[in-house]
Amino acid sequence: DGAEKCAVEIKCRDKMKASQFRAGVADDVLVQTLHQADTCGYDHMHAAVLIGGNDYRQYVIRVRDHAQLVADLRAAGERAWQQIVDRRPPVLAHDADPDVLLDLYGRLHPDRAGTVDITRDVDTQEAVEEYLDAHADYAAAERRKKAAKARILAGLAGAEAATVLDRLHVSLEERSKTWVDTSRLAERWPDAYADCVEDRTYRQINIPRSVREEHNA
């Protein structure tokens, strides 16, 4: 009617997401659209969604119909911004992708220095123990994997593949990867070496031998 301010939000979704639109607009589209409307001061939004390349849906989302959700979004935004100001990392679920936190801590503390006392920080001490346990499990799994590979090669003898009931069960396939002899490159083409090769420093977890021995005792 021209009395309200509005905009159009266009989304594409995989066909596997179609079930999320059975009862109306999917939650992720609703939240994103409401956030945009609230941020830009729109009264309502027209959401156009193409699912799987050929299933077109359209919705009219009015801000006043979702007042509580908009309030929740504002509160979450305020908490997130305060965490940024205070340089406090968010608390994620235990099953969340750890790469997200690893990247976050790297950005928060690019230049580390000094020592922190974790005598009363039981959570960090337990994390060290879990790290050692995971490392031991990984090493044991690698040994089992190599032992199993040796048994597979013994079973293959001189063949490159094996079948079970005329169906392929296991095979040895050739793979290739780029490999560079950096020593030779530096000796014969030092300019190319200097232009293409660089040393990059990184941080690696180090746990003293005394701590590892105490943990394994």
Q: Is residue 174 part of a domain?
A: yes
Same domain, yes or no: 98 and 134:
no
Phi, psi at 44, each rounded to 5°:
-150, 165
Residue 118 falls inside a structural domain: no
Domain boundary (112, 145, 173) is at 112
Strand, helix or coil at 201?
coil
Q: For residue 56, what is the enclosing H or E element?
A: strand 55-62
Euclidean distance between CA atoms 56 and 53, whole angstroms: 8
- The per-residue pLDDT for 210 is 96
Task: Let me know whether 42 and 105 are in one domain.
Answer: yes
Q: How many residues does the chain have?
A: 217
Which of 112, 147, 181 terminates a domain? The answer is 112
78 and 145 co-located in one domain: no
**What is the structure's pLDDT at 129?**
97
- 171 forms beta bridges with 161
pTM of the model: 0.62
Are residues 91 and 3 part of one domain? yes
Other CB atoms within 10 A of residue 77 CB: 13
**pLDDT one-digit tens code per residue, 75-114:** 999 998 998 888 777 777 777 788 888 888 888 888 999 9
Is 212 in the same domain as 176?
yes
By residue range, what is the domain housing residue 96? 1-112
Q: Which residues does the chain have with pLDDT short of 50?
A: none
Tally of structural domains, the chain: 2
Q: Residue 107: count other Cβ atoms within 10 Å of its Cβ.
A: 9
